Chain A
Amino acid sequence: MNRQDALHNNPAEEATLSLRPAAQVMPLARLGSLFQTRLSFTRSLVRQMISQRWQIDTERFDIDDDGYGDAVYRIQTPGGIYRFVLFSRYLDPSIRSDRVIAQQWDLAFALCEGELSEADLDRLRANVPRQEAGRCSARVLTLSRANRSQRNFEAVIERLAAGQQPDAAWFERVGYLYRTTAVYGNGKFGLADYDRLRSDPTFARPFSAQMFTVFMVRHFTLAQVEHIAHQRAPHTAVALAPAVKRYIGIGNSTGLGMAPFLISHPQLIDRWVEQRETALACALDENPNATTLDRLTAMVKRAIAHMRETHTDDAEQAQADRLTVNELTALRRWLATRRQTRLMTGWQTLVIHAERRWSLQTQELLNSLLMELYPESINALEDDLSVDPPAPMDCDASLDELKRLIETRYDWALSYDFADPEEQRYFWYRAAAKEEPRLGQRERDAGADREIGLDIARAVRLCYDALCQHLADEPQADVVDFLLAAPAHRAVVRRIQNLGALRYGDIRANLLGRDCRPLDLLRCKLSFFGASKFDPRSDRWVRITLFQGAPLVEDLADAHVEYDWFLPVRPGQAASTVQSV
Chain B
Amino acid sequence: MPQISHNELINTVEKAFEAMGLRPGERAEAAEAIGWLERHGLDGIAELVKALDHMPAEAHGQLEERYRDGGLRVFSAGGQSILSAGGVAVDAVLSMARRHGLATVRIENCHNRALIAGFLTRSVYQKTGVLACWSNRHQSRLHLVWHSGLDRFPTLRVQERPRAATADQSLTLIASRALDLQPNLPPDSDTHRLIYAADPDTMQQAETQALTQGLTVSDEAWDRIKHIARGVLVDDGLD
Q: Chain A residues in contact with chain B, CB under 8 A?
A: 101, 135, 137-138, 186-196, 391-393, 395-396, 429-433, 435, 438, 440, 445-447, 450, 453, 478-480, 483-484, 487-494
| In contact, B91 and A483 (Cβ under 8 angstroms) | yes
Residue of A nearest to B85 (CB): A487
> Is B65 interfacial (CB 8 A cutoff)?
yes
CA distance A487 to B98 in the complex (A): 22
Shortest distance from the beta carbon of A131 to any chain B beta carbon, whole Å: 15
| In contact, B7 and A188 (Cβ under 8 angstroms) | yes
7 extra A-B contacts, CB within 8 A, seeds A396-B95, A431-B238, A479-B95: A193-B6, A391-B125, A430-B234, A431-B235, A488-B24, A490-B29, A491-B23
Looking at the complex, which one of B8, B23, B24 makes contact with A189 (CB distance below 8 Å)?
A: B8
By a CB distance below 8 angstroms, the chain B residues around A395 are 88, 91-92, 94-95
The winner among B4, B23, B24, B231 for most chain A CB atoms within 10 A is: B24
Q: Can you report 17 A-B residue pairs in the complex whose CB atoms are below 8 A from each other? A: A101-B239, A135-B2, A138-B3, A188-B5, A190-B2, A191-B5, A195-B211, A432-B235, A445-B236, A450-B234, A483-B88, A484-B65, A484-B88, A484-B92, A487-B62, A490-B29, A492-B25
The winner among B25, B87, B122 for most chain A CB atoms within 10 A is: B25
By a CB distance below 8 angstroms, the chain B residues around A192 are 5
| In contact, B24 and A491 (Cβ under 8 angstroms) | yes
| CB contact under 8 A between A430 and B91, given known A135-B2, A196-B212 | no
Contact indicator per residue, chain B 182-216, by CB within 8 Å of chain A (1) or not (0): 00000000000000000000000000000111100
> Is B28 interfacial (CB 8 A cutoff)?
yes
> Is B49 interfacial (CB 8 A cutoff)?
no
Looking at the complex, which one of B3, B84, B234 makes contact with A190 (CB distance below 8 Å)?
A: B3
By a CB distance below 8 angstroms, the chain A residues around B24 are 453, 488, 490-492
CA distance A430 to B235 in the complex (A): 9
By a CB distance below 8 angstroms, the chain A residues around B234 are 429-432, 438, 440, 446-447, 450
Shortest distance from the beta carbon of A102 to any chain B beta carbon, whole Å: 11
By a CB distance below 8 angstroms, the chain B residues around A440 are 234, 236
| In contact, A137 and B26 (Cβ under 8 angstroms) | no
Shortest distance from the beta carbon of A512 to any chain B beta carbon, whole Å: 15
Residue of A nearest to B6 (CB): A193
- For chain A, what secondary structure do more than half of its interface residues adopt (helix, strand, loop), or is it mixed? mixed
| CB contact under 8 A between A432 and B2, given known A138-B213, A189-B8 | no
Shortest distance from the beta carbon of A431 to any chain B beta carbon, whole Å: 5
By a CB distance below 8 angstroms, the chain A residues around B26 are 487, 490
Residue of B nearest to A429 (CB): B234
Residue of B nearest to A489 (CB): B25
Q: Chain B residues in contact with chain A, CB under 8 A?
A: 2-8, 23-26, 28-29, 62-63, 65, 84, 87-88, 91-92, 94-95, 98, 122, 125-126, 211-214, 230-236, 238-239
Shortest distance from the beta carbon of A203 to any chain B beta carbon, whole Å: 14
CA distance A137 to B3 in the complex (A): 7
By a CB distance below 8 angstroms, the chain B residues around A445 are 236
By a CB distance below 8 angstroms, the chain B residues around A432 are 230, 233-236
Shortest distance from the beta carbon of B106 to any chain A beta carbon, whole Å: 14
CA distance A191 to B214 in the complex (A): 8
By a CB distance below 8 angstroms, the chain A residues around B232 are 430, 450
| In contact, A392 and B3 (Cβ under 8 angstroms) | no
| CB contact under 8 A between A138 and B214, given known A193-B7, A391-B125, A484-B62 | yes
Shortest distance from the beta carbon of B76 to any chain A beta carbon, whole Å: 12
| CB contact under 8 A between A190 and B214, given known A395-B91, A395-B95, A490-B26 | yes
| In contact, B25 and A490 (Cβ under 8 angstroms) | yes
Shortest distance from the beta carbon of B14 to any chain A beta carbon, whole Å: 11
By a CB distance below 8 angstroms, the chain B residues around A396 are 94-95, 98, 126
* Minimum-distance CB pairs A-B, first 6: A490-B25, A187-B7, A187-B5, A447-B234, A491-B25, A491-B24
CA distance A479 to B96 in the complex (A): 12
CA distance A438 to B6 in the complex (A): 25
By a CB distance below 8 angstroms, the chain A residues around B239 are 101, 431, 433
CA distance A306 to B233 in the complex (A): 42
By a CB distance below 8 angstroms, the chain B residues around A493 are 25
By a CB distance below 8 angstroms, the chain B residues around A490 are 23-26, 29, 87-88
By a CB distance below 8 angstroms, the chain A residues around B28 are 491
Looking at the complex, which one of A391, A450, A487 makes contact with B23 (CB distance below 8 Å)?
A: A487
| In contact, B87 and A430 (Cβ under 8 angstroms) | no
Shortest distance from the beta carbon of B228 to any chain A beta carbon, whole Å: 13
| In contact, B5 and A480 (Cβ under 8 angstroms) | no
By a CB distance below 8 angstroms, the chain B residues around A196 are 211-212
Shortest distance from the beta carbon of B218 to any chain A beta carbon, whole Å: 15
| In contact, A135 and B211 (Cβ under 8 angstroms) | no
| In contact, A392 and B125 (Cβ under 8 angstroms) | yes
CA distance A433 to B87 in the complex (A): 33
CA distance A438 to B239 in the complex (A): 12
Residue of B nearest to A430 (CB): B233
